[in-house]
Amino acid sequence: MTAMIEMKNVQKLFGPHHVLKDINLSAERGKVLVIIGPSGSGKSTLLRCMNLLEMPTEGSLTVGDIRMEFHDGNKPKRDQVLTLRRQTGMVFQSYNLFPHMTVLANVMEAQVIVLKRSIEEARKRATELLRKVGLADKANAYPSQLSGGQQQRVGIARAMAVDPKVLLFDEPTSALDPELVGEVLKVIQELAAEGMTMVIVTHEMKFASQVADKVIMVDEGCIIAEGTPEEIIQNPAHERVRSFLSRITER
C-alpha cells in the first residue's frame, strides 16, 4: 500500500515546550487515518504539521511525491510550502467561511485564486460539490443563514474544490450541536467510501470506529498506540488508551 502522507522522526517545539516527540506515521492512499487522544496531547499540532500550517522543528514529511526535511536553520521556501499545501484540503472545527461571500463564492474562491480556473469553471465545480454535500439549494445563501452543520458541509466542499490528494479534518464536529453531527459525518463517510484519503482528528469514537482504517492515539506528544479500530477503540490493550476511552464514554 502506497503512503499518501509519511512523517519520520518529526519533532515540534514551541520555545521550550516539546509538543510533538519523534512522530512516525503513514496515511495510506485511499484510506482513513483517525487520530484520537486527550485535549492538549498534540493532535491538532500533528495535523497542522501535515500541511505546514505549523512547521516541524525536526524530521521529514512526505505528501504525495513531495518530500521535505526539517532541521535547525533549514526552513523550506515559500513556494515549496505552497506546493505541498496544495496537495491537501483542510477542514477546520470553526468553519472559517468568508461571511461576506455567498456559499457558492466561498467554494469558488480558492479555485480562481490558487488554481487560476476561470469563473465559469470554478462555478461549475463549486455547484457539483455543493450538490455532493447536499447543499445545492443554498448556493446563494450567506454563512450566517446556515446551521452549523450546513456551514461545515460548505467547509468540506471548499476543501475539496482545489482537488486535494488528501483531506485533513481538525475536530470537524466539535463545534456542532449533537443533532447536527450526523449530517457532517454522513458526508465524510461517503467520501471514505469513494476512496478519498483522509486524516481526521476527532473525539467521536463511534464515528471513528465506523470510518477509520487505522487509528492512532496521541498522548503528551507521543504516539502511544496504533492499529485498527477493533484493536484501539473496541478492544484496547494499552492501559492509557483504556482510561482515555472510559473518560470519553462517561462524558
Please give, one letter per residue, the 3-state secondary structure of 60-102: EEEECCEEEEEECCECCCHHHHHHHHCCEEEECCCCCCCCCCC
Residue 164: predicted pLDDT: 94
Judged against a pLDDT cut of 90, whether residue 251 lies above it is answered with no
Alpha carbons 185 and 142: distance in angstroms, whole number: 22
pLDDT in tens, 176-228: 888 888 889 999 999 999 999 999 999 889 889 989 999 999 999 999 999 99
Burial of 87 (0-12, 13-18, 19+ CB in 10 A): buried
Alpha carbons 197 and 168: distance in angstroms, whole number: 9
The average pLDDT across 162-175 equals 92
pLDDT in tens, 42-61: 999 999 999 999 999 999 99
Q: Confidence class of residue 160 from pLDDT cuts 50, 70 and 90?
A: very high
Residue 34: predicted pLDDT: 97
pLDDT in tens, 6-19: 999 999 999 999 99
Q: Would you call 18 helix, strand, or coil by DSSP?
A: strand
Q: Confidence class of residue 250 from pLDDT cuts 50, 70 and 90?
A: low
Judged against a pLDDT cut of 80, whether residue 73 lies above it is answered with no
Q: Confidence class of residue 72 from pLDDT cuts 50, 70 and 90?
A: confident
Give the strand order in the sheet containing 214-219: 88-91, 166-170, 197-201, 32-36, 214-219, 222-227
